[in-house]
Amino acid sequence: MQALAERLSGVDSYVDGAIRVVAFYDTLMRRRVDLPALARASAGLAECVVGLRLHGTGRAIRVSPAGAEEPGPAGPATTTVPVTLDDEEIGTVWLERATPAHPLDEMLLERLAIAAAAAVERYGPARTTMADPALVELAVSSTGDEAARARALRLLGFAAGRPVQVVAVRTSLPLDRIGGLICPAGPVKAAALADVGVILAAAVDTTRFPEGVRAGLGAAEGTAVSWRQARTALRFTTPRDPVVRHADLGALALLADVPRDTAAGNADVAAVARVAGSPEDLETLDAYCATGSLRRAADLLHLHHSSVARRLEQIARTLGIDLTEPAGLTRARVALTAWRLLDN
């Protein structure tokens, strides 16, 4: 690879050197070299230590002009340039010269940064990258055709034919941080569409969502379908169940299609709305519906079972439902879910 260009010290003029630097990195990019190869080639060209670090992974590469990785802590950087992808800074490249900076140092690093961003996108993006909302919207749109969605996914860095899962998120946290947590190893892109965050990921670890995040997950069955499922699942989230998979809803997902006026006018749903006027009673009803057992609900609420029993008696009178019967418990669960969907 060293034959691609002369070392910078052997270049006679700035213009000639600039042309050689551009040609050097154009050739490297055509050869689709990875990050270590880029660092080795750059160190040989610059005749000094070259460093490359990705913010998302914390990975750092430092290579000497001889092509070997430099051990120990990094020395002082004489020139530094950010690596950007989709308008987000994902890393940094730098030179560690023991001699004064060369006039072409900044141009060399700029070309290295461009080549590094292309390699990151090709071989695996940084743990997460905020993406163009318009491109994400196209990738999940149900109005466009499959070819347009596939092209949008390729532009976002997802390999053709690989499954992509869509997550709908409500949070005050940065979407890129959440994406990096739930998909630490594979490609992941994030963007905000209206008042909902969208995360596209090769795979999702539901145990890694931060506290306070509400998330609905669609299946990896096509991004348009997955996005519709994710938005539906998001409506079913609660403080007790902040992360919901659409696949786990089963027949309950049908409740999301019930017209709002129809749900609000149902007698059981209206009764739950009256119970909700007391946060204490609503929490008790929620715990009982979640567990189906007075004693388990008491454990969940950290109360004596007799106290929970008294509350449930009052709640049952308000609902007009016998909560001790399986049919009554089913009615209460469905009504509570339907009432929540009115707000979600």
CB within 8 A of 52, min separation 6: which ones? 35, 38, 39, 60, 61, 62, 83, 91, 92, 93, 112, 116
**Structure pTM?**
0.62
113 lies in the same domain as 69: yes
Q: Are residues 238 and 319 in the same domain?
A: no
Is residue 260 classed as helix, strand or coil in its secondary structure?
helix
H/E element, 155: helix 146-155
Residues 198 and 293 in one domain: no
What 8-state DSSP symbol labels residue 71?
A: P
Cβ-Cβ contacts under 8 Å for 144 (sequence gap 6 or more): 138
Query: Which of these three, 73, 100, 123, is where a domain ends?
Result: 123
Q: Give me the pLDDT at residue 125, please.
A: 47
For residue range 304-314, what is the model confidence (pLDDT) as tens digits?
989 989 999 99
In the chain, what is the straight-line distance between the N-terminal and C-terminal CA atoms, in Å? Answer: 58
pLDDT at 124: 56
The greatest distance separating any two alpha carbons of the chain, rounded to the nearest whole angstrom, comes to 93
Do 56 and 113 share a structural domain?
yes
The CATH number of residue 301's host domain is: 1.10.10.2840
| Helical (H) or strand (E) element with 128 | none
pLDDT of 144 > 80? The answer is no
| Residue 145 sits in the same domain as residue 105 | no
pLDDT in tens, 21-48: 999 999 999 998 888 899 999 999 999 9
Q: What integer is the mean pLDDT of 106-120?
A: 93
Same domain, 142 and 200: yes
Higher pLDDT, 301 or 246: 246
User: What contacts 3, CB < 8 A, 6 or more positions away?
Assistant: none
Beta bridge mates, 29: none
| CB-based contacts of 163, cutoff 8 Å, min separation 6 | 202, 220
Residue 322 is predicted with a pLDDT of 93
**Domain stop point among 247, 277, 292:** 247
Is residue 242 located within the same domain as residue 134? yes
Domain interval for residue 63? 2-123
Model pLDDT, residue 112: 96
Question: How many structural domains comprise the chain?
Answer: 3
Is residue 162 domain-resident? Answer: yes
Domain match, 275 and 235 both? no
